[in-house]
Amino acid sequence: MIRADSRDFEIHAERQPDKRMVMSPTPNDRHSLALFTAFYELTMAQAYWQSGQTASATFSLFIRRQPTNRGYLVFAGLDRIIDFLDEFHYSAEDIDYLKSLQAFDPAFLEFLRSVRFTGSVRALEEGAIFFANEPAIEVTAPIIEAQIVENYLLNQVNVNTMLATKASRVIRAAQGRPVTEFASRRTPGLDAADTLARVSHMVGFSGTGNVYAAAHHGIPPAGTMAHSFVTSFEQEIEAFRAYATSFPDSSVFLVDSYDTIEGTRNAVRVAKEMRDRGSELAAIRLDSGELRDLSTRCRTLLDEAGFPGVRILASGDLDEFQIEALIADGVPINGFGVGTKVGTSEDAPWTDVVYKLVEYRGAPILKLSPGKETLVGRKQIFRFLDEAGEYFRDEIGLADESTMGEHVQPLLTTVMVDGDRHWSPRPIQQLRSEFSDRISRLPDRYKSLRAPASYPVTTSDTLDTLQKRIAEQVKETALGG
Amino acid sequence: MIRADSRDFEIHAERQPDKRMVMSPTPNDRHSLALFTAFYELTMAQAYWQSGQTASATFSLFIRRQPTNRGYLVFAGLDRIIDFLDEFHYSAEDIDYLKSLQAFDPAFLEFLRSVRFTGSVRALEEGAIFFANEPAIEVTAPIIEAQIVENYLLNQVNVNTMLATKASRVIRAAQGRPVTEFASRRTPGLDAADTLARVSHMVGFSGTGNVYAAAHHGIPPAGTMAHSFVTSFEQEIEAFRAYATSFPDSSVFLVDSYDTIEGTRNAVRVAKEMRDRGSELAAIRLDSGELRDLSTRCRTLLDEAGFPGVRILASGDLDEFQIEALIADGVPINGFGVGTKVGTSEDAPWTDVVYKLVEYRGAPILKLSPGKETLVGRKQIFRFLDEAGEYFRDEIGLADESTMGEHVQPLLTTVMVDGDRHWSPRPIQQLRSEFSDRISRLPDRYKSLRAPASYPVTTSDTLDTLQKRIAEQVKETALGG
């Protein structure tokens, strides 16, 4: 059946999967996403099933630590997670593939064929602001169902939250100047590109350079010209003229292909020709060199030539730190395009997101691994607002604790009940406006780009008492009395 | 038509796209991947088309700098790129979406509807070892076709090469001990997870934890149990017993849920019960704590109890640096599971990959932006081997230069001609064996995990002469004489 020899890490299938089962190498694969699970979820599922360990469990998804420089986190990814749970099932092809591994009991695979997600889910709202150790999602379901969805949920919360958080920092740094994302050429894969476009627009970006993502999510696409366009013409000025002819009312000329200052002079020449024909150049774009000095010189050139309305846009390996520094220096840059460093969340390319069993068969569960203790039981986050409506402090309590007063918001809401969706996706424009309101309620000291203050998150007395009792109990019984 | 107001970065569509066109939020989207392009590729395409600038162009895809700590790069992603080019076309839905933006000339969109990729492509072989500034792919096609495929090619070479390179470093650090990847829960999106599983197996990983990727690429799936499995039972030992019943010949017990040493004692108890029934425990897994000390103590416990054949596997935020240090200390760890830090290429989460116009209408093209100069013309990489068959030095020359002697390999091969595929994907096992041969030919000094020696890459005299001539010519003419 299965073997574990000295060359293998853990359980390996005896045979390679049947070639006919191998999926096409495109994202339009015919295997179901239910197969996006860890192999150990399925081996555990068989062991649960064979040992009759199939009662209801609650798993809590949370981020263990605030990533570097981050004073807050922006939750995102709920849409796809609910879709995934709603549609969860193994296709005939999936089961055939699993059979081909000769690693599972055929009776278990027959059971697996019928598995659907029948559980309940409580989650933060899309675009909610949250902090380390706060449950972002709690899943309550028969343990096999709750267990095998782990990988997809973690993957999606990780990439969505990481990118939404990063992008919201860029918006803060830009202080109201528009920001567009041009990251899709260097995001780690297509999915990250699509995700970044969506969540960055939610937190305030003007648009995306990625047409697929723009179509997918209803986001304004944006873009101008590349160096290849300019250099394909014998003279830079001919490239500008050709572009102005095609886009008389919205041209942005990229001026640094050969020399930024000479390029700006060429832009001015074409801008005059455009004006003679009744249209105006929209902007120039700088993509290299010392942006402080260059933008100032370009601004002067444009103003002196009678083009104070032509904006200066900047791009080229920018992130929140560089934008903050440029603005602090008072550069005459009107808008920013960001790419790689934002699309990879370069300074914090992952979150310490985990999915932990916190209740089984109605009893609270605790893990004691060094540095990895979990908070037991089904929980709720209570957010206390001050009188101005600003976020003041959070308390993590048990799910059945009641809220205390009018300035307290419970943050987890029910989004699925018994496998049915109790929630519908909101238009991106609504999410954008909700996020704008939320981030304005978080005091500035938690939003600093470096060394932000630590937002107060405490645990309730009720949770503390339970946690202590379970810890003692586990120490007595779990390792065998 | 289109506007560019003070809130917008560059060109934005006047209207939001028609809601009916918005794609489903799953990877099984019905829009074609041809839409995975930058908006500016399409605006440039219209300007090319309207100005009659439609001759043949060559674009060169290369990585501008070696990422931190990297002495070499592993090329990957060719399969999907060829599929993408082979299938390239805009669907009726794509064209409808673009029309809905009211940003393009309807006649241009009709032209776009008929565009297919009719060009030729030369590329490195999948799994080739290459270096900064060496062309990994050269695309020659009518300029619009060559231009609009840019984003997809960059995205895929970036994620594939970044992850293949990272994974190959882990294999080196592990010095022959098996490594499995368990990263899919924290890779940035689904695509990165699928990609990592494939390229890590190509460079030597034993298997993947991700079942979807295992099915997709024919890679052995691997995995054991999570803490949730252990903690769902009242006693740890009951969890081990249940798992041993389901997987008598391949059980790996995770021993750190409560206390690693006590967990190992429980593993030994169950291993004895298993032996009484005629089977053997395969391994234990440590996932937290001080691995040096713990693995040594666990090894002693297992040996003294009569289980010298039970292996010790380790996981938990490991990367090549930690594995190298553990092995240098002589730890009794038999295999490693790696996750987040490898799946995000944490210390170098992107490559400086670019796609530059190098020839248009048969004439070499040069960009002079500060720090971003390109090598002109259609090129070839010539790799010189020493008498032992080891990689000695590379020379970047022009494509039509001839190779010089028997110890020289030209690295770029033709994979598409006039839009037709001249290449077929190789089985992953063949790629794995080819990579193993290649990496053995790269001298150790270029493979150090930190501060590797710099592999000699020079340019040919012919290329130098051309580069110099074009630079002078561009300075004279491009900015206007």
pLDDT surpasses 50 at B18: no
Lowest mean pLDDT among B30-34, B96-100, B263-267: B30-34
Could you report the per-residue pLDDT of A129-154, keeping only the tens digit for each?
999 999 999 999 999 999 999 999 99
Q: Which residues of B touch A43 (CB under 8 A)?
A: 223-225, 243, 246-247
Within 408-437 of A, beta carbons closer than 8 Å to B belong to 425
The verdict on a CB contact (< 8 Å) between A155 and B184 is: yes
What pLDDT score does A29 carry? 52
Check if B209 contacts A (Cβ < 8 Å). yes
**Which of A211, A285, A342 would you mutate first to test chain B, the one with the most B CBs within 10 A?**
A211
CA distance A178 to A54: 52
For residue B12, pLDDT over 80 is answered with no
pLDDT of residue A30: 63
What percentage of residues in chain B have a pLDDT greater than 90?
87
Out of A9, A25, A366, closest to residue B337 by CB: A9
Is pLDDT at B20 greater than 50 in this prediction? no
pTM, rounded to two decimals? 0.94
What digits encode the pLDDT tens for the residues B430-442? Answer: 999 999 999 999 9
Taking all residues of chain A, what is their mean pLDDT, rounded to a whole number? Answer: 92
Mutation target to probe the A interface, by most A beta carbons within 10 A, among B21, B82, B161, B211 is B211
Q: Which chain A residues have a beta carbon less than 8 Å from that of B154?
A: 185-186
pLDDT score of B343 = 98
User: Is pLDDT above 90 for A464?
Assistant: yes
Distance CA B47, CA A260 (A): 22
Contacts A147 to B, Cβ<8 Å: 226, 228-229
More confident residue, A62 or A367: A62
- Condensed to tens digits (0 to 9), the pLDDT of residues B132-170 reads 999 999 999 999 999 999 999 999 999 999 999 999 999
- Average pLDDT (A392-420) is 92
Name the class of domain A168-343. Answer: alpha beta
B434: burial class by Cβ within 10 Å (0-12, 13-18, 19+)? Answer: middle
Q: What are the E-state strand segments in B399-437?
A: 408-410, 413-417, 420-421
B445-468: pLDDT as tens digits: 999 999 999 999 999 999 999 999
User: What pLDDT is recorded for position A18?
Assistant: 30
Residues A104-114 have pLDDT tens digits of: 999 999 999 99
pLDDT-based confidence at A349, cuts 50/70/90? very high
| The total number of residues written for chain B in this structure | 481
- Indicate if the pLDDT at residue A432 is higher than 50: yes
Domain ranges for chain B? 54-87+118-163+354-477, 175-343
In the block, residue with structure tokens 């990625």: A210
HEC assignment per residue over A287-326? CCCCHHHHHHHHHHHHHHCCCCCCEEEECCCCCHHHHHHH
Task: Evaluate if residue A13 carries a pLDDT over 70.
Answer: no
- List the structure tokens of A263: 């390029």
* pLDDT for the residue A250: 93
Q: Give residue A23's pLDDT band: very low, low, confident or very high (50, 70, 90).
A: very low
What is d(CA B232, CA B242) in angstroms, rounded to the nearest whole number?
11
Select the residue of B11, B235, B343 nearest A478 (Cβ to Cβ). B235
A79 at B interface, C-beta within 8 A? yes
CATH entry, A2-28+39-163+355-477, from 3.90.1150.10, 3.40.50.720, 2.40.280.10, 3.20.140.10 = 3.20.140.10
Tell me how many residue pairs between chain A and chain B have CB atoms under 8 A apart: 559
Contact B31 A186 (CB under 8 A): no
Residue B278, min C-alpha distance to chain A (Å):
15
Which residue, B30, B222, B229, B27, is CA-closest to A34?
B27
Measured between beta carbons, the chain A residues lying within 8 angstroms of B348 are none
The Cα–Cα gap between B390 and A96 comes to 45
Quick one: tokens of A233?
């013409």
**pLDDT of A229 over the 50 cut:** yes
Band of the pLDDT at B24, cuts 50, 70, 90? very low
Query: What's the gap in Å between the CA of B110 and the closest CA on chain A?
Result: 16
B2-11, B203-212, B237-246, B314-323: range with lowest mean pLDDT: B2-11
Would you say domain B54-87+118-163+354-477 falls under CATH 3.30.2290.10? no
Q: Span B175-343: which CATH code?
A: 3.20.20.70
* pLDDT attached to residue A368: 74
| pLDDT attached to residue B30 | 63
Q: What is A319-345 written as a DSSP string?
A: -HHHHHHHHHTT----EEEE-HHHHTT
Strands ordered across the beta sheet of A379-385 = A408-410, A379-385, A391-398, A457-459
ipTM for this prediction = 0.93
- CA of B183 to nearest chain A CA: how many angstroms apart? 9
Please say if the pLDDT value at position A20 is more than 60: no
Judging by DSSP bridges, how do beta strands A391-398 and A457-459 pair with one another?
Answer: parallel
Q: Of B15-29, B71-85, B172-186, give the lowest mean pLDDT range.
A: B15-29
User: CB within 8 A of B424, min separation 6: which ones?
Assistant: none
Range 235-294 of B in CB contact (< 8 A) with A? 235-237, 242-243, 245-247, 249-250, 252, 256-259, 262-263, 266, 282-283, 285, 287-289
Instruction: Enter the DSSP assignment of B427.
Output: P
pLDDT recorded at residue B224: 85
C-alpha distance from B277 to closest chain A C-alpha (Å):
17
pLDDT at residue number A266: 98
Length of chain A: 481
Place A402 in a pLDDT band, splitting at 50, 70 and 90: confident
Q: Does the pLDDT at position A64 exceed 90?
A: yes
Nearest CA in chain A to B282: A4
Average confidence score pLDDT of chain B: 92
Q: Predicted confidence band at B367 (pLDDT cuts at 50, 70, 90)?
A: confident
H/E element holding B28?
A: none
Q: What per-residue confidence (pLDDT) applies to A481?
A: 53
Query: What pLDDT score does A3 carry?
Result: 38
Q: Tell me, yes or no, if B148 comes closer than 8 A to chain A by beta carbon.
A: no
Provide mean pLDDT across the span B170-175. 98
